[in-house]
Amino acid sequence: MISLQSVNLGYSNIPILKNLTLHVGKGEFLGVIGLSGAGKSTLLMSIIGNIRVLQGNYQVFGYDLSSISKRELRLLRSQIGFIFQGYNLVNRLSVLHNVMCGMLKDLPMGRSLIKLYSGEELEKAHEYMQIVGIEQLAMKRCDELSGGQRQRVAIARALAQEPKVLLADEPVAALDPKSAVQVMDVLRKVNETYGVTIISNLHHLDFAREYCDRIVGVASGSISYDGSTHALQGST
Ligand code: ADP
Ligand code: ADP
């Protein structure tokens, strides 16, 4: 699904990450670890075509990121869900409304206010709210929720896109330990239920070890480790 061969990535023309070779297949749950500033976010953002490919071959869903058209890039992005540390919800709207926003593939946000949803779409939204455990909060405004609840809304919204890949940038960094565990449990459930590939930046190695089946370490501008969680446990 995602394949990098000797790739350099950077802002303007200065490479931040060099000589990356990485292949990610369907259904994997990948944890990306590394110190702050190592380039984890850069790596994640590059998958949605937000970072310049300075060198090498970078393919996502068969699209070559060095030569992708604007239309193809839109298509690619519509198949990738993104979860941020700061949730990025529309706070004054209800949980349900935020989840439904995920179904609007190409429409600008404002259109969601007047769009009517089908019964089937509503049913799907309820399925996603249920899987992340926020169904009872459907009618609450997002600004009435705790951080952990907000992050679960964000995951339900991403699911409403029916993504092939879910990218999470430090999804639990802002949460208390109990909420963090809940959110990680939800990510695992999503991975197992829908077979969605998940790539998550995590600064807690413990979470990566417990939840991911593969760990990629980023250090000194490159990939310093890539192996199964099992192998990592064996080596320490
Ligand atoms: P991490 O997610 O591991 O903390 P980042 O990918 O955010 O690391 O940052 C990697 C490096 O890229 C850092 O040195 C940072 O200063 C640099 N960087 C991040 N964003 C930009 C940008 N928009 N322009 C130039 N350099 C950037
Ligand atoms: P299909 O045979 O239609 O591909 P799947 O078994 O893949 O069916 O999925 C069944 C239902 O689960 C789909 O209709 C879809 O709504 C939901 N689903 C599948 N994959 C995802 C996903 N990645 N994110 C959210 N929902 C999904």
DSSP conformation letters of 147-172: HHHHHHHHHHHHHHT--SEEEEESTT
Which ligand ends up closest to the CA of 45? 1
ipTM of the prediction: 0.75
Query: CB within 8 A of 190, min separation 6: which ones?
Result: 131, 132, 155, 159, 166, 196, 198
What's the CA gap between 84 and 61, in Å, rounded?
Answer: 22
105, two tokens: 């593939």
Task: Residue 227: name the closest of 33, 14, 1, 56 by CA.
Answer: 33
For ligand 1, pick from 9, 11, 20, 216 the residue to mutate: most ligand atoms within 8 Å of CB: 11
Q: Which residues line ligand 1 (CB under 6 A)?
A: 11, 16, 34, 36-42
The domains of the chain are located at: 90-162
Full pLDDT tens readout for the chain, 236 residues: 999 999 999 999 999 999 999 999 999 999 999 999 999 999 999 999 999 999 999 999 999 999 999 999 999 999 999 998 889 999 999 999 999 989 875 555 545 555 667 888 899 999 999 999 999 999 999 999 999 999 999 999 999 999 999 999 999 999 999 999 999 999 999 999 999 999 999 988 999 999 999 999 999 999 999 999 877 765 44
Identify the burial level of 100 via C-beta atoms within 10 angstroms of its C-beta, where 0-12 means exposed, 13-18 middle and 19 or more buried. buried
pTM of the full predicted structure? 0.90
Q: At residue 206, what is the residue type?
A: D
What's the CA gap between 125 and 160, in Å, rounded?
Answer: 7
Q: Would you call 39 helix, strand, or coil by DSSP? A: coil
Which ligand ends up closest to the CA of 27? 2
What's the CA gap between 16 and 20, in Å, rounded?
Answer: 11
Residue 137 Cα to ligand 2 midpoint, Å, equals 23
Atom of ligand 2 minimally distant from the CA of 163: 23
